[in-house]
Amino acid sequence: MIKFEKLPYPFIIAGHILITIFMIAFPFLIKVFFYGAIIYFILRLFTSADKNMEVILACCYLSCLEVFLRMNSALFFYEMIKYLVIAFMLAGILLRGFSLKSIPFVFYLLLLVPSIVVASQNIPISESLRKAVAFNLSGPVTLGIVAIYCFQRRISTDRLDEILKLSVGPIVMLMFYLFVVTPDIRDVITDTASNFAASGGYGPNQVATALGIGMFICFVRFLRIKNMWYNVMDITLLLGMTYRGWVTFSRGGVITAFLMIIAVIVTLFILKRSEFRISFLPKLAVIGLGLLLAWGFTSLVTNGLIDKRYANEDAAGRAKSDLSTGRAKLISIEIEAFLENPIAGIGAGQVKYYRAKKDGILAASHNETSRLLSEHGSIGILSLLVLIFTPLIFRLSHKGNIYFYAFLIFWIATINHSAMRIAAPAFFYGLSLLYVFKPKVKKKQKTELESPIIAVA
């Protein structure tokens, strides 16, 4: 069976762009592609000897594809990708087991149970307990299952890089689709609010988050690869994704991507030799210049509104009183719910009903941390501590994953501006738990990566 991650990078990118062109012309092909991908990954899982990689590859690719599929209504049901990630991870656990040291995450999953019991007592009669619980706990449960599977699971740097390389494809599809199907940016950007038209008619927050993942992967590839033509491709894709992320006017995903990039730069500077630190400074300069030019272009096509958006100003240039664009009020109500029910919270999925009683607005939470407080109470605080400290303790003795802090930052930043709407934060949290090791490289073996970066002090 063809292993697409082994193909040359230009083939992967060109192939995804060509597929997207056909999808735009014949929209039914989006579902054909999606279900074909599921079958492909299932066949690989049960026929490959390296089942560890197959599970991680499938889940990474599907997580990066999710926003594009949702945008085009290609999913059988809204949360389908999360359930597919859970299914692949459970299959991997059955086939290859899991580390007994992942018990903290079993404990984390058990901590979610009380909120279901509390919710069964509080949910309005007209509402479905199953739907309310499933919607709000699908993300946390996905995270728990992914963490159990990934914790201390061994994977080589080469394998991880191949997984990330292939996963650029779905985000390139999203970026290309946005360039082709969205209206002229000059026609749709009229204020500094998040813009659905520039986001393909879908949620700007989630679109920017997906593009942010692509920005990060293209950046690390640009930094680490010697091949000049690959460098040109990656810097082009990086700037294209950044531009499309900026014009969504949703800041969370873009800022998160830059935080991930900073985390990798700092990690590499700390771990690598002094001559290596100097060697990639020219590349950082190229990226900086490219981003500066891209910002200038974005400012031009948005008539300066992008500058005002990131300066937290409205279209008239007046400073907005709320930097969080309404999220602070939602969080304050959730904290109020926690203070009223500090032990076990108000129950899974109940905060939107609580908010409706308080201010008459029936809206889901944008912040997973405050949602944990309100719906799970002190038990939610305990579960959050498990999620934060378990990977940090693991990191003390396992420093092979140079993306560790970037993945962890993506998780914590994303859940605090977009909750766990998509599978990506749960999955990339799991990637921070992998035991990443450097494979033995033969002296004459050629590699597209710079060996000094692979080496870990």
- Structural domain containing residue 172: 4-97+152-321+398-454
Whether 231 is in a domain gets the answer: yes
Does a structural domain hold residue 342?
no
At residue 456, the pLDDT reads: 32
- Predicted confidence (pLDDT) at residue 445 exceeds the cutoff of 60: no
- Whether the CA torsion 19, 20, 22, 23 is positive or negative: it is positive
Residue-wise pLDDT for 402-414, tens only, equals 999 999 999 999 9
DSSP state of 197: G
pLDDT of residue 368 exceeding 80, the answer is: yes
Contact (Cβ atoms closer than 8 angstroms) between residue 112 and residue 140: yes
Q: Give me the pLDDT at residue 31, please.
A: 97
The whole-number average pLDDT for the span 49-66 is 93
Please report which confidence band the pLDDT of residue 450 belongs to, taking 50, 70 and 90 as the band edges.
very low
Domain count, the chain: 1
Rounded Cα distance between 102 and 211, Å, is 31
Specify the pLDDT at position 415.
92
* Domain assignment of residue 350, yes or no: no
Residue 215 · residue 257 · CB < 8 Å = yes
Judge whether 340 lies within some domain.
Answer: no
The percent of residues in the chain predicted with pLDDT above 90, rounded, is 63
Q: Which tens digits make up the pLDDT trace of 119-168?
A: 877 776 656 667 777 778 899 999 999 999 999 999 999 999 999 999 99
Q: Tell me the two tokens of residue 342.
A: 């500090």
Residue 293 forms part of a structural domain? yes
On whether residue 110 sits in a domain, the answer given is no
Of residues 398 and 454, the one with the higher pLDDT is 398
Rounded CA separation 270/119 (Å): 47
Q: Where does residue 275 rank: exposed (0-12), middle (13-18), buried (19+ CB within 10 A)?
A: exposed
Q: Can you give the pLDDT at residue 172?
A: 98
Note whether residue 360 is domain-resident: no
Report whether pLDDT(447) > 60: no
**Who's near 135: CB < 8 A, 6+ residues apart?**
79, 349, 364
Instruction: Please report the pLDDT score of residue 349 as a whole number.
Output: 78
Query: Residue for token digits 């191949």?
Result: 162
The SS3 of residue 155 is strand
In this structure, is residue 382 part of a structural domain?
Answer: no
Q: Tell me what the pLDDT averaged over the chain comes to.
A: 88
Mean pLDDT confidence for 255-270: 93
Helix (H, G, I), strand (E, B) or coil at 437: strand
Assess whether pLDDT exceeds 70 at residue 383: yes
